[in-house]
Amino acid sequence: MEKFYTSLGLMSGTSMDGVDASIIRSDGENNYEPIFDKYFEYDEVIYSDLLNLRDKINSIKDLTTNSYQINELERKITLFHAKISGEIIKSAGIDIDFVGFHGQTIFHNAQERISKQIGDGNLLSSLLKKEIVYNFRENDILNGGQGAPLAPIFHNLLINKNQIEKPACVLNVGGIANITLVVSKNNEDLISFDVGPGNCLLDEWVRRHTQMKYDANGKASDIGKTSEVILNQAIDNFDNISNQKKLSFDIKDFDLSFVKGLSYEDGLSTLVDFTAIIIYQSILKSIKINTNEKLSIIVCGGGRKNLSLIKSIKKRLPKNISLKIIDDYKIDGDFIESQAFAYLAIRSALKKVISYPNTTNVEKPSIGGVLVKNYSD
């Protein structure tokens, strides 16, 4: 009989605005139960420090040049994670076996084989008196992979646990959009990769023009009018760039220059359609199905709340491809990634595979994550 473990997953994405925290119980295989989820917003100091640091880091060299600022912010980030972890463990009233600590990505370059997350696993372990799993991406990169995406095996678990008809495609719209094609119960059969920008261009445009962090429900973009000329040129440029062949992206791979001359609302509308077309084209190119075959696309991540973006994707899909929001299946779409890293922490602690050739381009199925215990019983 498989043993079940209780794990806390902590995930902060490319939006850099806070941390999703989730407690689950799982055997690290085909069974899991969500127990508790909560979002914790970063304070303005950490948020602005992160944005400032991200603007400074455009190469591996910049990681060295800004090492003092990185170390200072890493400590702040870790103390914040320790504080919220203590709160959520107390609120849930449950003992935790492992903490899956993703940390905050500040640089990711698949070509140069580096993915840098800040977050001190040893310090977090000593503060929480818990076993911490962190540094999830390094081993995948060392084995020829791109370090991302890592959530596909959890997507597979969700599809099969909820008996969603296959083939199914999980479309995760975070800062970067990625897809996972699920055709069976076997992780080896998964196909997954980043498709391009998710919310990153939209959020950056909003931050540059307003005091807000994002366009709530896509309301502002709905008011705007898309510039078809600019849109078509931007799509052509995206199709022609060499990094189109990547399996994983960083938000620095994209920029807003092509909408610079547009009004706030028209710029947003154009960016929504640009993002939707990139997602739509990537799905059609990569998932070979006949017109008489059905495919379900299930959308998760913060982008699923942007009704303008969802509408723009949906209107382009052929009739045999349906698009649904993951919440339609009574699954909370806000906490898929944090639950995924709680699940990955269990698998990592048990030395189970977390990445596969068809998900990260790794040379062989690979374990990942570093387990630390920095306290005395």
Chain segment 183-194, per-residue pLDDT in tens: 999 999 999 988
Supply the pLDDT for residue 241.
62
Q: Does residue 313 share a domain with residue 170?
A: yes
Q: Which residues contact residue 87 at a Cβ distance below 8 angstroms, ignoring those fewer than 6 apart?
A: 40
What are the CA-CA distances from residue 265 to residues 28, 216, 235, 311 (Å)?
Answer: 45, 13, 19, 17
Instruction: Identify the residue with better confidence: 73 or 111.
Output: 73
Q: Does residue 194 share a domain with residue 277?
A: yes
Is pLDDT of 286 > 80?
no
- The one-character DSSP state at 376 is -
Instruction: At 358, give phi and psi (nearest 5°).
Output: -85, 0
Segment 104-123 mean pLDDT? 92
Q: Does residue 319 share a domain with residue 355?
A: no
Confidence tier at 247 by pLDDT (50, 70, 90): low
Q: Does residue 123 share a domain with residue 108?
A: yes
Q: Does residue 139 share a domain with residue 23?
A: yes
Do the domain assignments include residue 155? no
Q: What domain count does the chain have? A: 2
Residue 240 domain boundaries: 163-329
Question: 264: which 2 tokens?
Answer: 């706030």
Instruction: Identify the residue with better confidence: 231 or 113.
Output: 231
Provide the pairing of β-strand 295-300 with 191-197: unpaired
**3-state SS assignment for residue 7:** strand
Is pLDDT of 243 > 70?
no
- The one-character DSSP state at 355 is B
Supply the CATH number for residue 88's domain. 3.30.420.40
Segment 309-334 mean pLDDT? 95
Do the domain assignments include residue 13? yes
| Cross-strand partners of 22 | 9, 37
Supply the pLDDT for residue 297.
96
Q: What is the pLDDT of residues 51-87, one digit of tens each?
A: 999 999 999 999 999 999 999 999 999 999 999 999 9
Long-range contacts of range 112-118, CB-CB < 8 Å, 24 or more positions apart?
112/60, 113/141, 113/146, 113/147, 114/60, 114/141, 115/141, 115/147, 115/148, 116/63, 118/70, 118/73, 118/74, 118/77
Q: Does residue 223 share a domain with residue 113?
A: no
CB 19 within 8 A of CB 84: yes
Q: Provide the H-helix boundaries in 162-263.
A: 200-209, 219-223, 228-240
Supply the pLDDT for residue 204.
95
At which of 295, 310, 329 does a domain end?
329
Do the domain assignments include residue 242? yes
**3-state SS assignment for residue 19:** strand
Confidence tier at 244 by pLDDT (50, 70, 90): low
Q: What's this model's pTM, rounded to 2 decimal places?
A: 0.94
Beta sheet of 191-197, edge-to-edge order:
191-197, 176-182, 168-173, 295-300, 321-325
Cα 4 to Cα 258: distance, rounded to the nearest angstrom:
51
Do the domain assignments include residue 151? no
**Phi-psi region at 330: left, alpha or beta (left = phi > 0; alpha = psi -120 to 50):** left
Do the domain assignments include residue 153? no
Do the domain assignments include residue 158? no
Is pLDDT of 242 > 80?
no
Verify cis geometry, omega within 30 degrees of 0, for the bond prior to 357: no
Instruction: Identify the residue with better confidence: 240 or 124.
Output: 124
Supply the pLDDT for residue 245.
58
**Above pLDDT 70, what percent of the chain?**
98
Q: Does residue 185 share a domain with residue 103?
A: no
Q: What is the pLDDT of residues 287-298, one digit of tens each?
A: 777 778 899 999
Instruction: Tally helices (H) and strands (E) across the chain.
Output: 13, 12
